[in-house]
Structure 1
Amino acid sequence: MKVDLFDFHLPEELIAQIPLENREASRLMVLNKENGNVAHEPSFRSILQYVQAGDCLVLNDTRVLPARLFGMKEDTGAKVEVLLLKQEEGDVWETLVKPAKRVKKGTIITFGDGRLKAVCVEEKEHGGRMLEFQYEGIFYEVLEGLGEMPLPPYIKEQLDDQERYQTVFARERGSAAAPTAGLHFTEELLEEMRTKGVHIAFITLHVGLGTFRPVNVDNIEEHDMHAEFYQMTEETANELNTVRENGGRIITVGTTSTRTLETIVSEHGMFKEASGWTNIFIYPGYTFKAIDGMLTNFHLPKSTLIMLVSALAGRDNVIHAYEEAVKEKYRFFSFGDAMLIL
């Protein structure tokens, strides 16, 4: 299947650069996955009209690390930017370093007047470096004081309030990017859903930077997906099984929740407690076993994310809906508007 099938014209000005002041103020497009019909809702709160008692919303409770650090080489004072990717063992992290040529094995980098230091213990390809950090106290507390949010490369504006790149239910530290479909929810809206009888369940998938990696092959079947860590508790698994047994719909919030459930679900559509790494790549032709619907944002052309959405709602339906979104000037990607697929 050719990657060009998932291309569409996206004016750059439609890529949202900053979040709206009110999380619920985003617009909502509702796409019928069976016939491709589209409805336009002026406010995200309208989602209350489309979910019903007995349904279950599944949200990703991962929390984004302020993983971008700015430091300097201890010996020369040369500036270095470090992006944390994955904790390996103890205080050793896999990172991306810019400019990488300045950081060789043994190089010491200092951050924040020496509150945090890192020693390069291994050089990897494409700017990758294994760094061992030195600090006093608790690493994540030091990081919160020194680090910045690793916003995607297509967002050029600075983020005044770093919490706006976190969901209101974020609690499990470990992501390099936010599960952005969840950014539209407030505590009040979630409570209204519970009052209506909608189940709210949580899984964890730590989003990696591979989310933004372009598909550089002509045939999408040849694309290698990045692996990401996921976790589902016994409580969530039991809740999902109960919802399914009672005839309720399972609606995932975001592609991350979708990939997690489709990784864990059994052939018979049942769930169990699980954790591990997934590199599942979902594109048209895939048969969904875990979900009945999905809430997601509007994604970039030729991305693995629009391929996943097309697998659920049909490529023609999705491309038509995206062309409609461009025409109606919806806001795209991380800080953009939402699409509900049912």
Structure 2
Amino acid sequence: MEQQEGLLVLRIHFTSEDLPRTRLAAGPDAMWEVLLSLYRLQRPQGAAVFGRWRRRIRAQVPGSVRLLTDLAPPTGYAVDFLTPATGTGSLQAGVEALRGTSRSRLRDDLTELAARHPGHRVAGWARELAQGRIQALDGLVDAVTQYASVCLLPDWDRVSAEVRHDRLLRRKALAEGGWPGVLRGIHPSARWSFPVLELDYPAEHDIVLDGRGLILQPSVFCWGPPVTLLDPELPPVLTYPVADRCRWSASSGRPAGRREPAIAALLGRTRADALEVIALGPCNTTQLAGRAMIPLPTASNHARVLREAGLITTHRDGNQVRHTLTPLGSALLNGHLTPPTAPAQAP
């Protein structure tokens, strides 16, 4: 389930046995990234982070993606069986678990989908899926595999790197403050007071762990509040946004041999990266250099050029200067301006 409007509260109830059994996922979970990236394709939020990825893959999305969007509408409930627990998080394990979904799980989740989306017509193939028809399930497995191969696997090394980076940050928090420190820092909306973790959520929802522990699953494509499964009897998992997507967003969308987007042709790839980093939030030049992974003198030069072009403003904050995106820079990044075809001066 994922939705951004009308946030209420998710409550996760711990016992003294649950904290020692809570664990950080070892890496990204392909099935969660499939589901959450579908939301990123269907919604405009997060242009500064996901815009380049969306522009690159939109024309390549296979037609079979409609099977997935039938089960994961743009807002609200998506069927739980699309994100099965596998232990490894690999695509192969995920599609094998999906293929093994019980008839009762298929039927119950699709009944829930119809009830929660009364205006969303259940497709004929999904009705066959609810009946446990093997052809419908095979078609769904093929759709997941095709979508992931085209839209996720080219960036999987970067996704994995960001999840590993998040794990390092959480392990540091665990060493310094125990699980309470991790849980309080998992998201800006997190509120921890033993034995309950509260988070912003699109609905009032409670999960009683009852000694099962909790899997904390970082995700690159999660945007807004963390997400979880609707059925509280399923293995408890909380999927949350990785701590810092700046590096991924600055480098994603550029597989070898692909044509650079117009903004990169206009500004130069590195300068376009710098502009997108600043779009994520005001930063000083040292932060710009670190997030864009460029030398400090290069970051200073790019900030000067972007400022002279009217795409950012720079103001002094104590002993430092901070760079902020201007309305013109935002319009350029969000596609409301058409860049000229002739490139600017090389950076």
The structure number with the bigger radius of gyration is 2
* Higher share in helix: 2
TM more than 0.5: no
Normalization by structure 1: what TM-score?
0.24
